[in-house]
Amino acid sequence: MEQFKKAMNENAAMRWGVLILVGFVLSVNYYFYDAFSTLKDLLRAEFDFTNSQYGLFISFYSIPNTFLLMAVLGGIILDKFGIRRTGFGFIFFMALGAVLTAYGASDYYSNGGFGYDAFNSFLPQYSAQLKMMLVGRFFFGLGAETSIVVVSKILVKWFKGKNLALAFGLKVGFGRLGTFAALNLSPIIAKEDGSNLSGAIWLAAILVCTGLLAFIVYMLIDTKLDKQLEANKNPDAIEEKEKPFSISDIGKLLGNRAYLYIALLCVTFYSAVFPFLAYVPDFFSDKFGMSSIESGKLTSLLPLGTLFFTPFFGWLIDRKGRSATAMIFGAITLLIVHLTFAFTYLTPAVPTILLGIAFSLVPAAMWPSMVKLVDERQIGTAYGLMYSIQNLGLFAFPLLAGAILDYTNPGNPEVANYTPTVLMFAGVSLLGLLFAILLKVEDKKRAYGVELPLNKK
């Protein structure tokens, strides 16, 4: 009688099937986050948003993860209570936030629907629509960042020792697929005149709710896997009750200079990309005279490129290593992109493609490197802390970009000068390059002539 049965995570088809399932959760997460970048002008016209208020709306996503440290707490909760309970709870918050945001932009709410009078009774400088959408954005951000941490731990569980960098590259690709779809579909559904703006936002919210259903399916698969691992007495089995957390874990992570440099590269790199993407369709429209649909299609070249480049770079790093060097090249490319946008009128397709390469190279090298730097018991905490640090930038820089736009373009003209704003993003890119170089130096210093984890295959 055969006592040992092959666990599901040893089956290649099951591994890739799980990746597709949780990748869909990521795709709808990114779809909702990026759906508003091509709707900026329509939101301003429909709800009288200023650039600063739009920046506030984008930044509100990061408040729970920046000031309440929810990504860190989410990572701790993940390490303590496991994938299923943590994932369901936070993806539920993500779906709730998406629905509240869509409700705040709906015609029913604007015409005096439930909650309108209450939200209209305070802070009169902000519309009732904006305030309800801010509440929704808050809950969406509270769930979305930890959901990404959960997906990261799922990939470690299923792919550790089995093309992990490629899996992380595909994970990033799924996120970019959501961005690509949002940039193309949102302006089309909303229509040029904004007559279906509410419909475009509701579609994004419904997709997030569908992602919650997809995760419930994963929970069933994960339950079966854990039973198999327990039955096989596999040392990789995740026994959720034996995951004690100590506050000293965070101190140990922050005392690891390689981890700290990666975290600082993470916040500067993503701060020079995601907040920029929230403004780039309007930037293309103002500097190059494109329509919202044209600028959305051009911007979508970025996630389309990363959809293919990130898995390729992940596959390459799985085989060749040199993660630290890859991060330096990606940071240099990002700096060149922002300087090109700021000082030239070169057709924006060229720097957008280069931005896609940078946006593929750094994440493909950065996220799998974490597994080599920390104990598997601390993976959730390590990723959560990193996402919270990242959210400092995702909160601050959309606000700063909106404030710079309003300050350098008094009177809120239809065609804004974006050069000072883009130069601000170039400065953030330069900081990212500095941290990538420090990471490489630290790697060499610790190696004493011997390759360390970031340089090994």
How crowded is the C-beta side of 16, counted as CA atoms within 13 Å? 4
Span 63-73, pLDDT tens digits: 887 777 777 78
Measured N-to-C along each axis, helices 40-47 and 197-231 cross at an angle, to the nearest 10 degrees, of 130
d(CA 37, CA 385): 27
Measured N-to-C along each axis, helices 274-288 and 40-47 cross at an angle, to the nearest 10 degrees, of 80
d(CA 278, CA 34): 7
Compute, in degrees rounded to 10, the torsion defined by CA atoms 366, 355, 134, 283: 160
User: What local confidence, expressed as pLDDT, does residue 456 receive?
Assistant: 46
pLDDT mean over 424-435:
93
pLDDT mean over 326-335:
92
Q: Is the pLDDT of residue 235 over 60?
A: no
d(CA 406, CA 398): 12
Q: Is the pLDDT of residue 451 over 70?
A: no
pLDDT mean over 354-370:
84
pLDDT mean over 306-329:
82
Percent pLDDT > 90 in the chain is 23
| Residue whose C-alpha is closest to residue 54's, from 44, 67, 64 | 44
d(CA 229, CA 216): 20
Span 278-309, pLDDT tens digits: 788 788 888 888 876 777 778 777 777 777 78
Q: Is the pLDDT of residue 208 over 90?
A: yes
Mean pLDDT for the chain overall: 82
Check residues 134 and 382 and name the one with the higher pLDDT. Answer: 134
pTM: 0.72
User: What local confidence, expressed as pLDDT, does residue 98 receive?
Assistant: 95
pLDDT mean over 434-444:
86
Which helix (H) or strand (E) segment holds residue 313: the answer is: helix 301-320
Q: Is the pLDDT of residue 391 over 80?
A: no
> What φ, ψ does residue 333 adopt, rounded to 5°?
-60, -40
Q: Is the pLDDT of residue 384 over 80?
A: no
Check residues 96 and 446 and name the one with the higher pLDDT. Answer: 96
Residue 245: what residue type?
A: F
Alpha helices in 69-127 (DSSP H): 70-81, 83-104, 107-110, 116-119
Pick the CATH number of 12-447 from 1.10.10.10, 3.40.50.150, 1.20.1250.20, 3.40.50.620: 1.20.1250.20
pLDDT mean over 27-37:
90
Q: Which DSSP string do the residues of 55-70 spell out, in sequence order?
A: HHHHHHTTHHHHTS-H
Task: Tell me the chain's radius of gyration from C-alpha atoms.
Answer: 22
Check residues 445 and 185 and name the one with the higher pLDDT. Answer: 185
User: What local confidence, expressed as pLDDT, does residue 237 receive?
Assistant: 46
User: What local confidence, expressed as pLDDT, does residue 107 receive?
Assistant: 86
- Output the six-digit token pair for 373: 């730097």
d(CA 141, CA 164): 27
How crowded is the C-beta side of 136, counted as CA atoms within 13 Å? 26
Q: Which long-range contacts (CB under 8 A, 24 or more apart) does 162-165 make?
A: 162/15, 163/315, 163/318, 164/318, 164/368, 164/371, 165/314, 165/315, 165/317, 165/318, 165/364, 165/365, 165/368
Q: Is the pLDDT of residue 340 over 90?
A: yes
Contact (Cβ atoms closer than 8 angstroms) between residue 172 and residue 24: no
341 pLDDT band, cuts 50/70/90, is very high
82 pLDDT band, cuts 50/70/90, is confident
233 pLDDT band, cuts 50/70/90, is low
- Output the six-digit token pair for 288: 């190059």
Q: How far apart are the first and last CA of the chain?
A: 39
pLDDT mean over 6-20:
83
Q: Is the pLDDT of residue 390 over 60?
A: yes
335 pLDDT band, cuts 50/70/90, is very high
User: What local confidence, expressed as pLDDT, does residue 243 receive?
Assistant: 47
d(CA 175, CA 278): 15
User: What local confidence, expressed as pLDDT, does residue 92 receive?
Assistant: 96
Q: Is the pLDDT of residue 232 over 60?
A: yes
Which residues are within 8 A (CB) of 413 and not within 5 positions of it... i.e. 6 or more apart?
A: none
Contact (Cβ atoms closer than 8 angstroms) between residue 179 and residue 31: yes
d(CA 81, CA 59): 29
Instruction: Give residue limits of the domains in the chain.
Output: 12-447
247 pLDDT band, cuts 50/70/90, is low
Contact (Cβ atoms closer than 8 angstroms) between residue 177 and residue 127: no
In this structure, of 20-29, 40-49, 241-250, 257-266, the range with the lowest mean pLDDT score is 241-250
Q: Is the pLDDT of residue 240 over 60?
A: no
40 pLDDT band, cuts 50/70/90, is confident
Span 91-113, pLDDT tens digits: 999 999 999 999 998 988 888 88
Which residues are within 8 A (CB) of 108 and not within 5 positions of it... i.e. 6 or more apart?
A: none
Alpha helices in 257-373 (DSSP H): 257-271, 274-288, 292-299, 301-320, 323-343, 349-373
d(CA 247, CA 295): 47
Q: Maximum distance among all alpha carbons in the chain?
A: 80
Q: Is the pLDDT of residue 192 over 90?
A: no
Q: Which DSSP string do the residues of 3-30 spell out, in sequence order?
A: -----GGG-HHHHHHHHHHHHHHHHHHH
Span 400-414, pLDDT tens digits: 888 888 888 876 556
